[in-house]
Amino acid sequence: MDDIAIELHGIDKSFGLVHANKDINLKVRKGTIHGIIGENGAGKSTLMSILYGFYQADSGEILVDGKPVAIRDPNTAISVGIGMVHQHFMLVENFTVLENVMLGAEDSQVLNKGIAKARTELKRLENEYALEVNPDALIEELPVGLQQRVEILKALYRKADILILDEPTGVLTPAEADHLFRILGQLKSQGKTIIFITHKLREIMAITDEVSVMRRGEMVATRNTRETSVEELAELMVGRRVLLRVDKGEASPGDVKLAVQGLTVKDSRGVTMVDDVSFEVRSGEIVGIAGVAGNGQSELLEAIAGIRKATAGTVLLNGKSVDVMGHRDPAELRARGLAHVPEDRHHVGLVLKFEESENAILGYHHDPRYLNGVFLNIDAIRKDAEEKIAKYDIRPPNARLKTANFSGGNQQKIVLAREMERDPDVLIIGQPTRGVDVGAIEFIHKRIIEMRDQGKAVLLVSVELDEIRSLSDRILVMFAGRVVGERSPDATEGELGLLMAGVEGRKEAAE
C-alpha cells in the first residue's frame, strides 16, 4: 500500500433527500494522473469537495499516505499535502502574482522578509516545474493560461503533493491546454499526484494513467487508461451506448437570414469588446464562432439579441433593419423570427425559483395560446410544458418542479425547447452544452442539426473547439473583438488554435 497517495473507504454524503455520494471507494496511486469523469450530478464535485474539506462526509474514511485523516476544512487538506485548482480561479485580480501566491500563507512578522522569502521560493518552483510567470504582474493583466499557472503555483507553494484540478481546460485555447498537459507531465515526473476532473473524454485518454467513472452518486468502474476507450467510458458514464460523433449531411444554404455589418459594441467600462464585425448567416446552415472566452463573442450575441446596445454598425433580420444602437426590444425580435439561447442559462435564460412550466414560456407569455383573457391559462401552459418535456426528454418529467431542482443538462433542455419550438427563422445559441453531460450533449447536437435541416439559420458560439468543428458548416474565429479568419470545418485544431490566439489573424491582416 506504500504506493497509494489517496484512499477513500465508504464515503457517503446526502443533502436532504439527494444522495450525492453512495459508499464510494477509491484508490489513487502516487505519482500518477488519475481522471474522474461522470455526468452532471454524478457526484464528482461533491466527492472532491469532501477530499478538500469544503464538505464533511456523513460516513466513511479518508487515508492520505496510508494514514487516516479527518479533513475538516481546506486548511486541513493543505496541511496534509492536498491542493486544489478550481475551475473558476480563486485569485485577487488587482493583486500581483506574488501577492496572490502568498495570500493566506504569510509566514513572517516582518512583511518585507516574508516577501523576499516568498519571491525566492516562487522562483524555485517556476524553474523546477516550468511554470514561468512574472511575479510582479497584476493578475488582471494576465491571459487565462498564465492565471491558471498562478493557481498551480499557489498549491505548490503550500507544499501540495496531491493536486486536484477541476475542469482545467475549460477556458484554454488548444495550445494553452497542450502546455498545461506538459506542465502536468512535469509535475508527475517530479512525483506529484494529480486528480484530473473533466467531461472531455479525449483529454482523459491523452493524459491520465487511470480513470474512475461515477454515475448517480456511485463509483461504477476504474480502468487503466491504456486498456479502455472513449466509447467504453461514455457508456459507463451514461449507462447506455452513446453516439460520440455528430451525424450530419451536407448543408443546403439558402437566402441570407441574418446579416451583421460593421458591428461595434463597448462594455460598461467603455472598452470595445466587438470591433467592426461583419458576417452573414443563411437559411439551412450553421455558422460557428470559435474563440477563447472573453474575446467578444458574448457581447456579439447580446447585441444581436437586443439585450446590449451597440455603438456602431447594422444588423438585418430577414432583410429588415434592427435598431441595435437605439431602442432595443428582445420581444419584438422574437416576434420577427429570432430565437436566442443565452450563454448563461442561470442569470439570463431561466428564473430558477419558477416552475418548469413557467420557464417553458418565459418571454413568450403574451402569446394568445397561453392566455385566458387577460389572465394566464395555467392548464394550457402546463400542457404545453408537458409536451416539451416529452419531446426533449427532460428529467424528471415534472412540469410543476422548481427549475433549480433540475440538473444543468436538463435546465439547458428547458431553454432549448422553449426557443426551438417557436419555429424561428434565426436561432442564435451561446455555449449550447456548457456544463452538460455526454448523454445530453448527444441529444442537443441532434436537435441543432435538425433545426439546420429544417431551413433555419443557426449562429453558434462555443469555446469547445470539437463542438464548433463538428456542428458548423462555416467557422469564424474571434480574437480581441474582431473576426480574424474564416475556415471550413476541415481546418485542423492547430490552425484554428493559432487564429484563436491571434497569431494567424495578424498574419492574414498584414497580407
Provide DSSP, 300-339: HHHHHHTSS--SEEEEEETTEEE-SSS---HHHHHHTTEE
Q: Do 265 and 161 belong together in one domain?
A: no
Share of the chain above pLDDT 70, in %: 94
Confidence at residue 272, expressed as pLDDT on a 0 to 100 scale: 95
Share of the chain above pLDDT 90, in %: 58
Q: Do the Cβ atoms of 291 and 297 come closer than 8 Å?
A: yes
Q: Do 158 and 230 belong together in one domain?
A: yes
Residue 435 has pLDDT above 70, yes or no: no
In a domain, 232, yes or no: yes
Confidence at residue 336, expressed as pLDDT on a 0 to 100 scale: 94
Q: Average per-residue pLDDT in the chain?
A: 89
Q: Do 344 and 261 belong together in one domain?
A: yes
Confidence at residue 46, expressed as pLDDT on a 0 to 100 scale: 87
The answer, as to whether pTM is greater than 0.75, is no
Q: Do 174 and 322 belong together in one domain?
A: no
Other C-beta atoms lying within 10 Å of the C-beta of residue 59: 12
The contacts found for 241-246 with CB under 8 angstroms, 24 or more apart, are: 242/438, 242/439, 242/442, 243/442, 244/201, 244/438, 244/442, 245/470, 246/445, 246/449, 246/470, 246/471
Helix (H, G, I), strand (E, B) or coil at 16: coil
Helix (H, G, I), strand (E, B) or coil at 203: helix
Taken as a whole, the chain contains a residue count of 511
Residue 313 has pLDDT above 50, yes or no: yes
Residue in 263, 251, 258 with CA at minimum distance from that of residue 297: 263
Confidence at residue 110, expressed as pLDDT on a 0 to 100 scale: 46
Q: Which strand (E) or helix (H) includes residue 252?
A: none
Q: Do the Cβ atoms of 361 and 418 come closer than 8 Å?
A: yes
In a domain, 96, yes or no: yes
Confidence at residue 311, expressed as pLDDT on a 0 to 100 scale: 95
Region for residue 93 given its phi and psi (left: phi exceeds 0; alpha: psi -120 to 50; beta: otherwise)? alpha
Q: Do 262 and 216 belong together in one domain?
A: no
Mean pLDDT of 445-467: 93
Tell me: the pLDDT tens digits for 237-269?
A: 888 777 667 888 999 999 999 999 999 999 888
Bridge partner residues of 355 (DSSP): 402
**Residue 301 confidence class, pLDDT cut points 50, 70, 90:** very high
Mean pLDDT of 445-455: 95
Mean pLDDT of 421-436: 90
Q: Do 431 and 304 belong together in one domain?
A: yes
Q: Do 336 and 275 belong together in one domain?
A: yes
Mean pLDDT of 328-337: 89
- Rounded CA gap, 471 and 457, in Å? 13
Q: Do the Cβ atoms of 237 and 37 come closer than 8 Å?
A: yes
Residue type at 255 in one-letter notation: D
Mean pLDDT of 116-142: 87
Mean pLDDT of 63-78: 93
DSSP secondary-structure letter at 368? G
Domain enclosing residue 299, as ranges? 256-348+425-510
Of 90 and 412, the one with more pLDDT: 412
Tell me: the pLDDT tens digits for 468-483?
A: 999 999 999 999 999 9
Helix, strand and coil percent figures for the chain, each rounded to 5: 35, 25, 35
Residue 143 has pLDDT above 90, yes or no: no
247 CB burial (10 A radius; 0-12, 13-18, 19+): exposed
Tell me: the pLDDT tens digits for 393-414?
A: 888 889 999 998 887 778 999 9
Q: Count of domains in the chain?
A: 2
Confidence at residue 443, expressed as pLDDT on a 0 to 100 scale: 87
Tell me: the pLDDT tens digits for 366-390?
A: 999 999 988 999 999 999 999 999 9
Residue in 428, 379, 427, 385 with CA at minimum distance from that of residue 410: 385
- Rounded CA gap, 385 and 456, in Å? 23
CATH number at residue 280: 3.40.50.300
Residue 506 has pLDDT above 90, yes or no: no
Q: Do 163 and 282 belong together in one domain?
A: no
Bridge partner residues of 84 (DSSP): 164
Confidence at residue 1, expressed as pLDDT on a 0 to 100 scale: 55
